[in-house]
A and B are shown apart, each in its own frame.
Chain A
């Protein structure tokens, strides 16, 4: 079974704080993804990574950065949290190849006050 885990289920932070969200997968997947999910907007891709130390911007990268120092771990960083970053954050991973399924973690619900 593919397992994707996220460091926190719920997180409450203050405006301006630096926030780290961590994601770990145990299936040796090359690709890892960070999404945010908001009511009425669906899942939107923030950043993704094809390999260690590689990263690509998704559709909404502003205000976020990522780090992938090891194959199994992909971190999302909010440099200075703002209230409009309150959201559900979802990590996913997949093998590198055509038609490979993305498997998701349980999500982190972040509230920025």
Chain B
């Protein structure tokens, strides 16, 4: 069964304290792995898509990496405005459906 597990469930960081969020997955043939950011009461906002092991993508303080079993979202020197829930989703081959993890709720304190 295709599955996505995110850890930790919640993470509290001091401003400037770098850390990583984990997304472990099992899927019958990976078509793509997606990272989204979701602010309270709003829809998910697309961040990155990763397609194959070894791939990396960056955007401002965020960097996403992918292996055959997991993806990491690295946050370098976070700011309070990075506080949000980060969602990971995978898409299996031959389908347009996404399977989502339950997210990591990140809080960054000044």
Residue positions of A touching B, CB distance < 8 A: 4, 31, 40-45, 48, 50, 58, 90, 94, 96, 98-107, 109
Contact = CB atoms under 8 A, between A and B. Distances in A.
Contact of A109 (B41, B49, B51): B41
A42 B101 contact: yes
Question: Chain B contact residues: over half helix, strand or loop, or mixed?
Answer: strand
Given A4-B43, A48-B96, 8 more contacts: A40-B102, A41-B102, A43-B87, A43-B89, A44-B100, A45-B98, A107-B41, A107-B43
Contacts, number: 51
Interface in B42-88: 42-46, 49, 51, 87
Given A48-B96, A90-B43, A107-B42, A98 B49 contact: no
Q: Identify the interface centre among A31, A42, A96, A99: most chain B CB within 10 Å of its CB.
A: A42
Given A42-B103, A43-B87, A102 B98 contact: yes
B16 interface: no
Interface of B: 31-32, 34, 36, 41-46, 49, 51, 87, 89, 91, 96-98, 100-103
A48 B41 CA distance: 23
A66 to B, nearest CB: 15
B73 to A, nearest CB: 16
A101 B44 CA distance: 12
Given A99-B51, A101-B34, A106 B100 contact: no
A105 B102 contact: no
Nearest to A39: B102
A89 to B, nearest CB: 10
B98 A42 contact: no
Given A43-B87, A48-B96, A98 B31 contact: yes
22 contacts: A42-B87, A43-B44, A43-B87, A43-B100, A45-B98, A48-B97, A50-B96, A90-B43, A94-B96, A96-B96, A99-B31, A99-B51, A99-B91, A100-B96, A101-B34, A101-B46, A102-B34, A102-B46, A103-B46, A104-B43, A104-B46, A109-B41
